[in-house]
Amino acid sequence: MRDRDLFTLRLAHRFDQLYEALQAVYGTRADFDAVLQRVIVRLAEAHVARPEPLRLLDIERDLSPGWFQKESMLGYVAYVERFGPDLTGVTEQLDYLDELGVGYLHLMKLMHARAGENDGGYAIVDYTGVDPALGTTEDLVALCDALRSRGIALCVDLVLNHCAQEHPWALAASAGDARYRDYFHFFPDRTLPDAYEATLPEVFPDFAPGNFTFDETSGHWVWTTFNRYQWDLNWSNPEVFLEIVQVMMTLANLGVEVFRLDAVAFMWKRMGTDSQNQEEVYDLLQALRACSAIATPAVAHKAEAIVSPDDLIRYFGVGKRHGKVANIAYHNSLMVQYWSSLASGDTTLMTHALAEFPRTPDSIAWGTYIRCHDDIGWAIADDDATAVGLNGQAHRVFLSDWYAGLFPGSDALGGVFQYNPDTNDRRINGSFAALAGLQAARERGDEAAIDLAIERMLLGNALICGFGGLPLLYMGDEIGLPNDAHWQEDPAHAGDSRWMHRPMMDRAAAQRRHDPSSVEGRLFDGLLQIVTARRTTPQLNARYDTDVLRTGHPRLFTIAHRHPLGTLIGVYNFTAGTQWLRAGVLADEGVHRPLDRLGGSLLPVVDDHVELGPYARCWLVDASAES
Ligand code: OTU
């Protein structure tokens, strides 16, 4: 069979997915047929240019489309400059990643961003060029090859909502080039911007208030949702779509295997709305997804949308788009609820909010995480809070106070990000160790507090590894790195306190990971045990449903993973005290003799209860079904 036949088969298989989505967005244009043709030609060209090893990977992934859902999958997330400190350096660190069992590596600030302030790399001047400070295209290809030979997929950001004001498209637009002006949203005066502003929120109210920036060169206002130097792209122009398809094809042919589609919620603007999660966004993402599936099927898409559950679920495709939009999306709610339950020692809200979560297609995976390179916003719905007898606003205030270390009894060392006096909203920065109380306990030399903080962190790692998604570890959290004490010293970072929780990799601390008496050793070894157990627990494959059990126990979070091999029940104790779970909860799910796949032992049932120690986490299956 010729490659051409393979392309034709894939095109036929995905044509409707591509056509319907493009039609929905651009179908009324007179040049729609020409646009469609140009897209397909671009895909065919990319397929012809696709290097041999990647064609093989395409076939492998055709055969195994759920590769990113596997229980053996583990993600690691790092800034190249903080981990490498360049691409060659990253290539030299692959043994470290292998030790953890990483199968997916998301590298940030990799493609060429503007000099000076660049929003942590999210202000791109060249979508397909490597940042010269980090290496060359050849270095990137070498890294991709090295990763692929170890079975690690490289994930790279595709910043879809905006590019830097120094990007050649933006420079041309600013200079008056009509073709490129239509790549952005330009306004001759404040009339339309003011009308839009009436319903637009602000993402960075502190350092980037408003959603429009005056461009001196053109004398026009430009749509800038994020910072003034990040110009929103005009996706109603099919030329923008075609450009991004070309970018995806180029990067995929270098060996990139996952695209993290940044800030996708904002891609489509509509007067009178918050211009987030508009229908056209889902169509555009479905069309982009189809493009990868046709020309470079090895590639998966991860949507970054930090939005409410009902909107979020649509990034996996709802209704006619079921399973066709993104393969992976961040489970922001799980992350927020971990921190919320930990602070309050009460899982009632978590259980309620996550039990209410909509079902997902079985072809997708949640990206499960404890924290990422961004701040944490307290995305707790007022409805959910009210349903469990809390006041949403008061609880969010409590969480900000707790994690900023302002609440009595809190050991957290987080920092406040984007205080908004209008809404009283305060987002939080901080590394895992800083927020979980490990950093403060170490600074005090408080051994008992250190012990508890380690358990708290292992609880979190067990939760993200045991939820049935793709766990994403942020670099350094595996060894408990504290906040970066020097983040303000770099003038390009000083204005953005998220750099507080993007420390440099501490190689000396990492060396201690093999010393079982060190904090690093205890955290790293604890994580390895979790990851090792996960790998042999098929119930944790992301394609199986995760059901939250409403046990009525206010201190435990309990979830069931139903599988032909028998149900697995995850139990997580969010308190420093001992808790007891009714054995009936387990028996109802067929777990009569609870064997903990995480701890490796049988849990004794005493007086119809199982005992869970401080911050205990158990993955329970029926012992008789195991043998
Ligand atoms: C994303 O962030 C990136 O992760 C940030 O690092 C960038 O600053 C931003 O896009 C702009 O490129 O857009 O849909 O707390 O979660 O800014 C969500 C706010 C985003 C971030 C939000 C996020």
pLDDT digits 0-9 by tens, 516-549: 999 999 999 999 999 999 999 999 999 999 999 9
Instruction: Kindly state whether residue 415 falls inside one of the protein's structural domains.
Output: yes
CB-facing half-sphere around the CA of 51: CA atoms within 13 A:
12
Percent of the chain with pLDDT over 70: 100
**DSSP secondary structure letter of residue 380:** -
DSSP helix/strand/coil, 278? coil
Distance 98 CA to ligand 1 centre (A): 29
pLDDT digits 0-9 by tens, 49-74: 999 999 999 999 999 999 999 999 99
Verify that 411 and 485 share a domain, yes or no.
yes
Is the C-beta atom of 375 inside 6 A of ligand 1? yes
Q: Rounded distance, CA 108 to CA 123, Å?
A: 12
Q: Using alpha carbons, select from 97, 367, 100, 164 the residue that is nearest to residue 258.
A: 367
Which among 183, 199, 232 is the end of a domain?
232
CATH of the domain at 473: 3.20.20.80
Cβ neighbourhood burial of 76 (10 Å; 0-12, 13-18, 19+): buried
Verify that 218 and 346 share a domain, yes or no.
no
Residue 424: pLDDT band (50, 70, 90) is confident
Which among 535, 561, 581 is the end of a domain?
535
Ramachandran region, residue 289 (left: φ > 0; alpha: ψ -120 to 50; beta: rest): alpha
**Which residue has a Cα nearest atom 8 of ligand 1?**
119
> What total of structural domains would you count in the chain?
3
244 pLDDT higher than 90: yes
Average pLDDT of the segment spanning 581-597: 97
Which among 535, 570, 592 is the end of a domain?
535
Instruction: Kindly state whether residue 7 falls inside one of the protein's structural domains.
Output: no
Residue 222: pLDDT band (50, 70, 90) is very high
Verify that 337 and 453 share a domain, yes or no.
yes
Residue 627: pLDDT band (50, 70, 90) is low
CB 381 within 8 A of CB 310: no
| Residues forming a β-bridge with 568 | 561
CATH of the domain at 182: 3.90.400.10
Average pLDDT of the segment spanning 392-401: 97
Instruction: Kindly state whether residue 45 falls inside one of the protein's structural domains.
Output: no
pLDDT digits 0-9 by tens, 104-147: 999 999 999 999 999 999 999 999 999 999 999 999 999 999 99
Compute the CA torsion angle 560, 562, 565, 570 (nearest 10 deg): -10
Instruction: Kindly state whether residue 50 falls inside one of the protein's structural domains.
Output: no
Is the C-beta atom of 232 inside 6 A of ligand 1? no
Residue 215: pLDDT band (50, 70, 90) is very high
Is the C-beta atom of 329 inside 6 A of ligand 1? no
Q: Rounded distance, CA 573 to CA 456, Å?
A: 9
Tell me the two tokens of residue 366.
């949640």
Instruction: Kindly state whether residue 604 falls inside one of the protein's structural domains.
Output: yes
Verify that 83 and 107 share a domain, yes or no.
yes
Residues contacting residue 406 through CB under 8 Å, at least 6 positions apart: none
Percent of the chain with pLDDT over 90: 96
Average pLDDT of the segment spanning 414-441: 95
Distance 65 CA to ligand 1 centre (A): 28
Verify that 526 and 566 share a domain, yes or no.
no
What is the pLDDT, as a whole number, of residue 422?
82
Q: What is the DSSP string of 60-111?
A: HHHH-TTGGG-TT--EEEEEHHHHSSSHHHHHHTHHHHHHHT--EEEEES-E
Verify that 316 and 195 share a domain, yes or no.
no
Verify that 155 and 171 share a domain, yes or no.
no
What is the pLDDT, as a whole number, of residue 421?
87
Average pLDDT of the segment spanning 503-513: 98
Q: Which residues are catalytic?
A: 262, 304
E-assigned strand segments in 224-363: 230-232, 258-262, 300-303, 328-330
Tell me the two tokens of residue 486.
């020097």
Is the C-beta atom of 265 inside 6 A of ligand 1? yes
Instruction: Kindly state whether residue 46 falls inside one of the protein's structural domains.
Output: no
Verify that 143 and 207 share a domain, yes or no.
no
Ligand 1 atom closest to 162 (CA): 12
Verify that 475 and 606 share a domain, yes or no.
no
pLDDT digits 0-9 by tens, 359-384: 999 999 999 999 999 999 999 999 99
Verify that 245 and 192 share a domain, yes or no.
no
Instruction: Kindly state whether residue 196 falls inside one of the protein's structural domains.
Output: yes
The parent domain of residue 573 ranges over 545-626
Residue 625: pLDDT band (50, 70, 90) is confident
Is the C-beta atom of 377 inside 6 A of ligand 1? yes
Instruction: Kindly state whether residue 111 falls inside one of the protein's structural domains.
Output: yes
Verify that 292 and 407 share a domain, yes or no.
yes
pLDDT digits 0-9 by tens, 293-305: 999 999 999 999 9
Mutation test residue for ligand 1: of 82, 165, 304, 330, the one with most atoms within 8 Å of CB: 304
Verify that 329 and 466 share a domain, yes or no.
yes
pLDDT digits 0-9 by tens, 160-201: 999 999 999 999 999 999 999 999 999 999 999 999 999 999
Residues contacting residue 491 through CB under 8 Å, at least 6 positions apart: 116
CATH of the domain at 576: 2.60.40.1180
